[in-house]
Structure 1
């Protein structure tokens, strides 16, 4: 699931709480989504964790394989299933 869809599935108060748990703001997340700005590496990890892996690092960063090479085999295994 992409971040926009995930956020849109929540009420505004839930979005704000999610952003707070990720140590950011909903305004920053919305701006980053609309401008296609790459999110900070640590923020991607926080989003993945706080979303319960509904939004993954692979979905958040096009360069995920360079940043997290340990996920390459996990991603390949998932695509074979």
Structure 2
């Protein structure tokens, strides 16, 4: 699920609530506008903030979905990463 799908889903946090939850977890999010930029694809979240989004949404947004072209290189410890790396070589 991407950020837009999450924010549009029933029971999802609002942009403000998502920012506050990420901040409470120790992830730096400058403003609601930053999350809206991620939502529209104007900017992409950093690798660190991909993890923060996953944690803040209890896994509903997955970092693999935010980084579909390179997640296995960034997080090789994740399930499926090793198989993905082998296929891409």
One fold, TM greater than 0.5?
Answer: yes
C-alpha spacing 1:2/1:9, structure 2 compared with 1 (3 Å):
same
The 1:30–1:38 alpha-carbon spacing in structure 2 relative to 1, beyond 3 Å, is same
Q: Which has the higher helix share?
A: 1
Question: Post-superposition, which runs of at least 4 consecutive aligned residues in structure 1 deviate over 4 A?
Answer: none
1-side partners of 2:82 and 2:5: how far apart? 21
Matched, 1:28 2:34: yes
Q: Select 1:41's aligned residue among 39, 47, 53.
A: 47
Q: TM-score, normalised by structure 1?
A: 0.72
Q: Unmatched 5+ residue regions in structure 1?
A: 77-81
Structure 2 unaligned regions, length at least 5: 24-28, 84-89
Residues 32-75 of structure 1, C-alpha deviations (whole Å, 9 max, x = no match): 33245321111111100111101001011132111001114279
